[in-house]
Every structure is written in C-alpha cells, then in structure tokens.
Amino acid sequence: MLNVPSQSFPGPSSQQRVSSGGRSKVPLKQGRSLMDWIRLTKSGKDLTGLKGRLIEVTEEELKKHNKKDDCWICIRGFVYNVSPYMEYHPGGEEELMSAAGSDGTDLFDQVHRWVNYESMLKECLVGRMAVKPAFPKDYHEEKRLLNGMLPKSQVTDPLAKEGPSSPSYDWFQTDALVTIVIYTKQKDIYLDSVIADHRDDSFRAETVIKDYSYLIHIALSHEIQEDFSVRVVENVGKIEIVLKKKENTSWKCLGHPLENHNSLIPKKDTGLYYRKCQLISKEDVTHDTKLFCLMLPPSTHLQVPTGLHVYFKLTITGTEIVKPYTPISDSLFSEFKEPVLPNNKYIYFLIKIYPAGLFTPELDHLQIGDYVSVSNPEGNFKISQFQDLEDLFLLAAGTGFTPMVKVLSYALTHIPSLRKVKLMFFNKTEDDIIWRNQLEKLAFKDKSTYF
Ligand SMILES: Cc1cc2nc3c(=O)[nH]c(=O)nc-3n(C[C@H](O)[C@H](O)[C@H](O)COP(=O)(O)OP(=O)(O)OC[C@H]3O[C@@H](n4cnc5c(N)ncnc54)[C@H](O)[C@@H]3O)c2cc1C
Ligand code: HEM
C-alpha cells in the first residue's frame, strides 16, 4: 500500500511553496529586472524625493503615503519610499501596495524574510519611525554580568508562551576549557539543531526547537581559541558547547549578554545570520551545472538538515543579493557508506549557472579561496515524517533535484520499512540530467531503487 506522509514536501510554508495559495511572481516589464533596479539605484537619481535628507516619520505622516506614486512602507522601524521600486517588485505592485502607508514588517517576513531589503532599498530610505520599536522589556535588566548563576530565560514574544517550554543554560570551567550547557527540556534535539558561531569576542549559539530559536549570545569576558566543539545528549535534550581558553586563567564570569541572549523567540524573528565560507573547489557536472564545495570557518558549527536550504549572499555592483541553495552530499554514494562526520566542515552544492542570470555568473566567477556568505538553514521540511514509509516517490525537475540527494540518501539508509524508491526526474534534454551515471548505478545496485 502507498504510505503517504501526512506532511507533503516541501512544507506548507516553505520557500519552495511561496507561490502557492494565490501568491506568485509576476512577469516584469522589459527593463525591470533586478539588475535594472540595481542600475537605477546607482544612477544618482533622487529616489526618495528628499534629496538625500533623512527624516523622522510619524505614524500620521506614514499613513498619508499610501498611493502607488507616493508609497512609503515601514520595515523594522525604517521607512522606505517604494514607489520607484513598484515596477521592479517580483511579487507585483498589488502585493507591495498591501503594506502602503503602514508597517509592512510582518507581511514582508511572512513572504520573504530572506530578501535583503536594506541593501536593495538603501537609496529609497526616507528615515526612521519617530517612535522607536520597543526593546524586549527585560533586556536592560539582564545587562549585568553573567556571573554563572542560572538566569531565568527571556521570552521576548508573548506567542512564545504557547511554544516549547523555555530552555535554560549554565556554564562551568576547567583550567583549559569553558563549557556552556544548554538544557532544552526537549527530546528531539540533534547536532543539526545547534548552529554556533564565534566571531571576534562574541559567541552566538542558536538552538532550533520546533518553530522557535533559543539564543545564547554573549560578548565573552576572555579570549578563546578559534575552534570549539558541540555535543548533544539526545535523550535528555542537553547541549554542551566546549570552548578552549586562550589563556589558562580563571574566568569570573562568562561575559556580557548581547541582543536576544537567553531568549526563546519565534524562528521567523531571529533574522538571517551569515558567516563567510571559503570556496574550496568547483567541478563541472553537466554543461551548465557545477558542484561547488565550500568550507565553513573553524569558528562555526553548522549542519544543514535534510530538505532544508541556506541563503548565499554576495555583493553585486554594491548591492547585497541573496539567493537560496540546497546543500547536497558530494556524491550519491558517499553518504551510503557512512554517516556525515559530526565535525564535517565542507558543504556541497549543485548549482546551475545562468549566463544571463544575476547571481550565478558572479558565483561562477569566484576564484578558489574566495568567500561567499552563507546563512543558517531555513525551511520547514521534517525528514522524521518519512519514518515508516514503504514506498517513496520523488519528483524533481532540473536543479529541483538538489533536495532529493539527501532525501534519497536518508531514505535508503535510515528507513528499514522502505520497499521501493522511485525518482521521476524531468529535464529539457538528456544532457541536462544531473548525476545521470550515479543515478543509473544506484538503480542498478539497489534493486529497490528506480530512476
Ligand atoms: C528553496 C530553493 C532552493 C534552491 N536550491 C537551488 C540549488 O540547490 N541549486 C540551484 O542551481 N538553484 C537552486 N535554487 C534556485 C536559485 O535560488 C536561483 O533562483 C538560481 O540560481 C538563479 O539565480 P540567478 O540570479 O543566477 O538567475 P536570475 O537572475 O534569477 O535569472 C534566471 C534566468 O531567468 C531569466 N530571467 C530573469 N528575470 C526574468 C524575467 N523578468 N523574465 C524572463 N526571464 C527572466 C534570466 O535571463 C535567466 O536565464 C533554489 C531556489 C529555491 C527557492
Ligand atoms: C511588505 C509588502 C510586500 C509583500 C506583500 C510582498 C510580496 C511578495 C510576493 C508575493 C512575492 C512573490 C514570491 C514568490 O512567488 O516567489 C515577492 C517577491 C519578492 N519581493 Fe516582495 N513583497 C513585499 C515587499 C517587498 C519589499 C519592500 C521588497 C524590497 C526589496 C521586496 C522584494 C522582493 C523580491 C526581491 C522578491 C523576489 C524573491 C525571489 O526571488 O524569490 N518585497 N514579494
């Protein structure tokens, strides 16, 4: 019998689906591409009508600017004149108008919180809202030294009270090490639930718990070595992050809390966090698709869960552009041999280069050793829904094949009940089929697999 999982792929509100439910990209007029927009923003034209002056905007003032040719929108406390952008907006003028003269932050985040509006609209900045958005109430109260006591964690959003119970943390030290222990009080916490970065003197660890993130964000009181390790005791949901001291001195406190430290906040409110990854290699896979290998910095712990994607960020002619890509394993076979090493620092991507595209030609021009910013994982897909599958049918087209690589690998190694896997892979021509040989070998080797 066909065993259909209750949640389909991609998840109901994942980016792959944004177009469903009546929302879709609209065809833009000739000369209204993103590159054309970037050119307009660099042309020196006064796009706000304020000749470069920044003003404080009251709510009453904002409300007045609600027409297509005079449209202001507030996002995260900053007000933009989006009228010049109307014709360039891939979601269409009507969508943009739904936030006209008001605070569009929630609407914007619902549709595409990854879009780098600050950079794209910097020439459209009118100013700040006169009333600054309030800081989390307890933030200032906790601006004292973290003295090693277990502080009560902050829940910055009232909605979070309906979410998972709030985690807590503690820390202890030996001569050489400082260990931060996070008690999530959850069972389904894995190594890929924790994303940690050490940058300058600050340390940030984000633990994903369902649709929430628990943040440890500290300006450390002493210097540490670049690399650190993360361990998870899965059955009790305990996370241990072991930092290596630079000097063998005793720490009196862990450090000072930074924004959202010790808070459980809805994941959509955390903002996308990026780190620079180095291009290690680039190989042709088909006539237009390449396998990119990126290396995470030693000061980052990040594993992308199956079915999720990350965002790449590059500055193209002075504007930060963000595009999503789905990590894969380096070959269809490597993951079948052994699980990915927990401290794996390499991430692989299959990326089609569009000669007339905006982002991929820039990516293709990167030299080995160059850097690209890579975000935390995003998406709602949960591989656990595949647990008791008997038959798995996968449909992919073009580079839409990329999420299938890890899904296939997981299915063939982790689902004992699985009887049959069928991949239907749609391509324009035979030459476009990514990893055709590997797929054929796999189908030949594994009799439960069809391609
Ligand atoms: C969740 C997710 C995961 C993804 N994962 C991957 C992945 O793993 N690998 C991968 O290769 N891609 C992936 N993508 C697609 C990727 O994000 C980019 O869309 C893709 O790389 C194209 O980027 P670009 O800027 O180079 O091209 P674009 O500038 O977007 O152009 C692409 C093509 O469309 C044409 N075009 C652009 N604008 C118009 C217009 N207005 N009218 C008509 N034609 C137009 C261009 O000429 C070009 O041929 C993913 C997308 C999503 C949503
Ligand atoms: C606040 C009101 C807004 C709404 C309701 C809205 C809505 C939408 C919708 C529905 C799409 C199409 C998504 C898809 O089908 O893939 C879209 C795409 C897009 N919007 Fe907006 N938008 C808003 C504001 C903005 C602003 C202020 C910017 C400024 C830069 C912006 C930039 C973009 C970009 C770059 C895309 C293309 C994303 C992609 O490539 O997938 N939008 N928007």
Q: Quick one: which atom of ligand 1 is closest to the CA of 363? A: 26
Q: What's the domain count of the chain?
A: 4
CATH number where 256 lies: 2.60.40.790
| Strongest mean pLDDT among 94-103, 142-151, 404-413 | 94-103
**Residue of 24, 25, 36, 89 to test ligand 2 pocket, by largest number of atoms within 8 Å of CB:** 89
- Whether residue 328 lies inside any domain: the answer is yes
pLDDT at position 4, please? 41
Q: How far is the CA of 92 from the centre of ligand 2 (A)?
A: 8
Residue type (1 letter), 212: Y
| Contact between 328 and 349 (Cβ < 8 Å) | yes
- Pick the last residue of a domain from 375, 405, 431: 375
Residues 162 and 263 in one domain: yes
Task: Average the pLDDT over 98-112 and give the result.
Answer: 94
- Residue 86 Cβ inside 6 Å of ligand 2? The answer reads no
- Work out the pLDDT band at 333, boundaries 50, 70, 90: low
pLDDT at position 295, please? 96
Task: Average the pLDDT over 371-378 and give the result.
Answer: 97
**pLDDT (tens digit per residue) in 187-212:** 889 999 999 999 988 999 999 998 89
Residues 87 and 189 in one domain: no
| Strongest mean pLDDT among 118-132, 238-252, 339-353, 431-445 | 238-252
CATH number where 279 lies: 2.40.30.10
- Helix (H) or strand (E) holding 283, with range, is strand 274-284
**pLDDT (tens digit per residue) in 36-84:** 999 999 999 999 989 889 999 999 999 999 999 999 999 999 999 999 9
Q: How far is the CA of 17 from the centre of ligand 2 (A)?
A: 14
- Residue 110 Cβ inside 6 Å of ligand 2? The answer reads no
- Choose between 258 and 236: higher pLDDT: 258
Per the structure block, which two tokens stand in for 55? Answer: 């003003």
Q: Quick one: which atom of ligand 1 is closest to the CA of 379? A: 1
Task: Average the pLDDT over 250-261 and give the result.
Answer: 95
pLDDT at position 16, please? 46
- Whether residue 22 lies inside any domain: the answer is no
CATH number where 419 lies: 3.40.50.80
Q: Give yes or no for residue 98 having a pLDDT over 60.
A: yes
Residue 145 φ/ψ, nearest 5 degrees: -65, 145
Pairing of strands 194-199, 300-301: antiparallel
- Pick the last residue of a domain from 343, 375, 407: 375
**DSSP states of 308-350 as a string?**
-BEEEEEEETTEEEEEEE-EE-SSTTHHHHSPPPTT--EEEEE
- Work out the pLDDT band at 23, boundaries 50, 70, 90: very low
pLDDT at position 332, please? 72
Q: How many C-beta neighbours within 10 Å does residue 344 have?
A: 12
Lookup result for tokens 């820039």? 362
Q: How far is the CA of 251 from the centre of ligand 2 (A)?
A: 47
Using a pLDDT cut of 90, give the percent of the chain over it. Answer: 68
| Contact between 376 and 310 (Cβ < 8 Å) | yes
Residues 164 and 233 in one domain: yes
For ligand 1, atom 19: residue with the closest CA: 323
Q: Which ligand is nearest to the CA of 399?
A: 1
- Whether residue 135 lies inside any domain: the answer is no
Residues 110 and 166 in one domain: no
Task: Average the pLDDT over 270-277 and give the result.
Answer: 92
- Residue 380 Cβ inside 6 Å of ligand 1? The answer reads no
- Whether residue 138 lies inside any domain: the answer is no
- Whether residue 26 lies inside any domain: the answer is no
Residues 220 and 263 in one domain: yes
Per the structure block, which two tokens stand in for 209? Answer: 């718990």
- Residue 98 Cβ inside 6 Å of ligand 2? The answer reads yes
Q: How far is the CA of 338 from the centre of ligand 1 (A)?
A: 33
**Residue of 62, 105, 112 to test ligand 2 pocket, by largest number of atoms within 8 Å of CB:** 112
- Whether residue 11 lies inside any domain: the answer is no
Residues 357 and 421 in one domain: no
Task: Average the pLDDT over 360-382 and give the result.
Answer: 95
Residues 286 and 231 in one domain: no
Task: Average the pLDDT over 327-346 and give the result.
Answer: 65
For ligand 1, atom 37: residue with the closest CA: 357
DSSP conformation class of 378 = B
Task: Average the pLDDT over 96-103 and give the result.
Answer: 97
Task: Average the pLDDT over 98-105 and give the result.
Answer: 96
Q: Give yes or no for residue 389 having a pLDDT over 80.
A: yes
Q: How many C-beta neighbours within 10 Å does residue 86 have?
A: 16
Task: Average the pLDDT over 240-250 and give the result.
Answer: 96
Q: Quick one: which atom of ligand 2 is closest to the CA of 115? A: 35
Residues 6+ apart with CB under 8 A from 134: none
- Work out the pLDDT band at 277, boundaries 50, 70, 90: very high
- Work out the pLDDT band at 132, boundaries 50, 70, 90: low
Residues 355 and 387 in one domain: no
- Residue 15 Cβ inside 6 Å of ligand 1? The answer reads yes
- Residue 121 Cβ inside 6 Å of ligand 2? The answer reads yes
Residues 252 and 177 in one domain: yes
- Whether residue 3 lies inside any domain: the answer is no
The chain-wide mean pLDDT, for the chain, equals 86
In SS3 terms, 246-258 reads as CCCCCCCCCEEEC
Residues 350 and 369 in one domain: yes
CATH number where 114 lies: 3.10.120.10
Residue 162: burial class (beta carbons within 10 Å; 0-12, 13-18, 19+): exposed
Q: How many residues does the chain have?
A: 451
| Strongest mean pLDDT among 4-13, 172-181, 261-270 | 172-181
Question: What is the domain range of residue 358?
Answer: 274-375
**pLDDT (tens digit per residue) in 305-332:** 999 999 999 999 999 999 999 999 877 7
Residues 42 and 119 in one domain: yes
Strand spans (E) along 10-93? 55-57, 66-67, 70-75, 78-81
Q: Give yes or no for residue 407 having a pLDDT over 50.
A: yes
- Tell me the C-alpha distance between 66 and 272, whole Å: 29
Residue 124 φ/ψ, nearest 5 degrees: -105, 5
- Whether residue 351 lies inside any domain: the answer is yes
- Pick the last residue of a domain from 375, 401, 433: 375
Residues 166 and 263 in one domain: yes
For ligand 2, atom 43: residue with the closest CA: 91
Range scoring the smallest mean pLDDT among 107-121, 141-155, 366-380 = 141-155
Q: Which ligand is nearest to the CA of 28?
A: 1
